Structure formats: structure tokens, C-alpha cells
Structure 1
Amino acid sequence: MEKSLRKIALIYGLTAFMVLSLDLITKNLAESFLKERDISLLPFLHLVLVHNRGVAFGLLAEAPDLIRIPVLFITPLIALVITFLYAVRVRGILVPVLMGMVGGGAFGNLYDRVLLGYVRDFIYLSYGGLSWPAFNLADASISTAIFLLLMRELLPKGGKN
């Protein structure tokens, strides 16, 4: 492995590991502290334990296993491969970090699905009549990384990253 490829793999791996570790720690804390209660931190931010058997936002939770299981288990594995390959392909340090965030988040939710049969979500945003489905740190990491990657691609290029 050439030096720059090793560096990219290290950055990707460390980022993915950090996201995975923080995701599992926060999910375990949520499982411990939110079993029988909800906590409102701010008028719009609540901690609520939800066991999500579907994909994002609970989609496919009621779908037949023939459809649901391949999507739930194969898609994160594909995401890990694609994000790593993209991190290697694109120059700069930002992309391996962002792709590591996606990979770590995908692996965090895959871990829950494989070992528990569901994903533990616990962050719930709502205000007035508006609400967003519960999510977790893995989901937030994936969404943030994709948003930043899109901004990187759409905004005028000023520097190397």
C-alpha cells in the first residue's frame, strides 16, 4: 500500500471507529436511562428510546422479510465499500473524514440490526405541530457527512479540499 493510500485508510478507519464508538456508547446510555421515561432537554429536543425495525425513519418496518432483510443488511455493507473507495479516489483529507463518518454510522446501525434485530434511536426533534422521526448519532453522522460532501461539491472551489 503506498504511503498516501495508507494515510487515507488510516483517516477513514479512525473516523469510522470514532463514530462507531460514540454511536454505541450513546445508544447504550439511551438504553440504560430512557427505558421507562422521556427527557426534554429543550422545548424542541427530546430524548426518547425507539426501537426501529425499518430503515431511515422506520421505512420498510412492516415490509415482508424477503424485501426488508436484504435492504437492512446488505445496504450498509455496500455503503462501507463505496465510501472507502470514494475516499481513496478523491484527493485531500476532508473526503476520507466525511466518508469515514458515513462508514462508521452505517456500521453502527448494522451492528444494532445484527445483534438486536432493530436500531436504537433516541434523539427526537419536535416543536409545536412539527416533528422529525427519532434518530441516533449514526444517523446524524451520516446526514452531516453527506450534507458537507454536497456543499463541497456544489460550492465554488477555492482550495484543494
Structure 2
Amino acid sequence: MSDAPSKARIIKLLLLITLPLYILDQISKWWVVMNFKLPFVIHEGERYGVPEDTRPVIEGVFNLVRRHNQGVAFGIGNGTTWAPVVFLFVLIIALIGITYFWKKGAFSGPAKWSAPLLISGILGNLTDRLFQGFWLEPYKDSSFLERLSQGYVVDFLDFKIPGFEKIMPSSGGHWPAFNVADSCITTAAVLLFVTALLEGRKEYKEKKSK
């Protein structure tokens, strides 16, 4: 484990990496919410919205969409009553944990960039889960807790990947839609994986040289 980063370094990384990416994530999501039609929402037996507002950017390859994800990757937990609450607390716990271990110097090598990326990604999706439910028109007269429980993450980047339909036929070849926050989290995960490989290789060489 490396020495813990200084307070000044942490603040610098938060300002240079976390904050700009968080702002980009929120601006892009709110642009989608304000300009794309509401996806299907069922409230008190009434159906609101449209099947999906899809706008091709590169025909057959890349689209902009508006999808509400109350669950996690691949839509796990979507449409359930427990997912918005459970995953809201999961994100809060993850944010606290990452901040704690970052201050303790747990991120080293390429992974030193993963902490600010993880924080921006988690904050972006956490903000969605806290506030997006309050903007759902069908729930405008509902209680505070009910509107909070309708929180969702805005996904809008839709790519079609050759051969993916063979792995997941129901996808039609489309990778699950994602957003800027998801990209930050994925990049951080890759950096953590690469760091683990490099450290494992270093330990192997040291043992072999003895």
C-alpha cells in the first residue's frame, strides 16, 4: 500500500477530474430528460410516455435514447419496488468506502486515477436516484417518499455491437445503454484491474529472483 495522498493532491484531483466529469454527466442527462419523450411509466393503472424515443447518430451503430434504469447493469432490478431504495444505499456506502480507502492510500500505480473517476461516477448516478423521481410528471402529486422511491438513472448512449445478439438474443445486438457516470466507473475498474495485474507480475518477478 502506498503512502496516503496529501489533502492538497486529493482536492486537486477532485477539481480537475471528478468535478468536470460530474458536471458533464449531469448536463448530458438533463439535456436528454428535457428533450426526449418520457419512456413508459405506469402509475395507478394509467400508462404514460412512449415505448422509446430513439434518435440515430450513426445509423445502425450508435443512437441517443432515453431510458430509466432503477436497477444496475443490464437492467437487473428494473421495475421493482426495492431496487431504487437498495441501490441508493449501495451507492452511498460505496462512496464512503472509496473515499476512506483513497485517503488511506489504497490506490496506487494506474489505479491512482480510479478513485476520482469512481467518485464522479457514483456521485452522478447517486444524484439521479435522489432527484430524477421528483421530475416524473405522473408522480407530481405523490408523497415525498413515493417520489424518492421512483428515482432512476438516466441512460442514453446506445451502441449496437456486432455479434452481441448471439450472446444475448433479447438485446437485438444492442449493448445496455449507459451514461457518462457509467463510463467513469468502467474506466476506473479497468485501471484497478491493470494495476492488480502489474502488481501481481512484480511480485512474481521478485519471488522468482530470490
Please, what TM-score do these two structures have when normalized by structure 2?
0.64
Work out the CA distance in 2 between the residues paired with 1:147 and 1:4.
Answer: 21
Question: 1:49 pairs with 61, 66, 80, which one?
Answer: 66
Larger-gyration structure (1/2): 2
In the alignment, what sits opposite 1:39?
A: 55
What is the root-mean-square deviation in Å for CA atoms of aligned residues?
Answer: 2.4
The answer to whether the Cα contact below 8 Å between 1:51 and 1:119 also exists between their aligned partners in 2 is yes
For structure 1, which runs of at least 5 residues remain unmatched after alignment?
A: none
More strand by share: 1
Work out the CA distance in 1 between the residues paired with 2:107 and 2:54.
Answer: 44
In the alignment, what sits opposite 1:19?
A: 21
Work out the CA distance in 2 between the residues paired with 1:4 and 1:148.
Answer: 18
Question: 1:115 pairs with 123, 131, 146, which one?
Answer: 131
The answer to whether the Cα contact below 8 Å between 1:47 and 1:124 also exists between their aligned partners in 2 is yes
Work out the CA distance in 1 between the residues paired with 2:158 and 2:107.
Answer: 36
The answer to whether the Cα contact below 8 Å between 1:83 and 1:103 also exists between their aligned partners in 2 is yes
For structure 2, which runs of at least 5 residues remain unmatched after alignment?
A: 38-51, 133-150, 166-172, 203-210
The alpha carbon displacement at 1:50 in A equals 0.6
Structure 1 runs (4+) greater than 6 angstroms displaced: none
Aligned residues with identical type, % of pairs: 30
The answer to whether the Cα contact below 8 Å between 2:84 and 2:129 also exists between their aligned partners in 1 is no
The alpha carbon displacement at 1:145 in A equals 1.1
The answer to whether the Cα contact below 8 Å between 2:57 and 2:64 also exists between their aligned partners in 1 is yes
Where 1:47 maps in the other structure, the secondary structure is strand
The alpha carbon displacement at 1:25 in A equals 0.9
Give the aligned length: 153
In the alignment, what sits opposite 1:125?
A: 159
Query: Residues 82-121 of structure 1: CA distance to partner in whole angstroms, max 9, x if unpaired?
Result: 2222322136585443111111111111111111111111
Moved more, 27-36 or 48-57: 27-36
The answer to whether the Cα contact below 8 Å between 2:157 and 2:179 also exists between their aligned partners in 1 is yes
User: Larger relative CO (CA 8 A, sep 6+): 1 or 2?
Assistant: 1
Gap change, CA 1:72 and 1:8, over 3 Å in 2: same
Work out the CA distance in 2 between the residues paired with 1:37 and 1:58.
Answer: 18
Work out the CA distance in 1 between the residues paired with 2:84 and 2:69.
Answer: 13
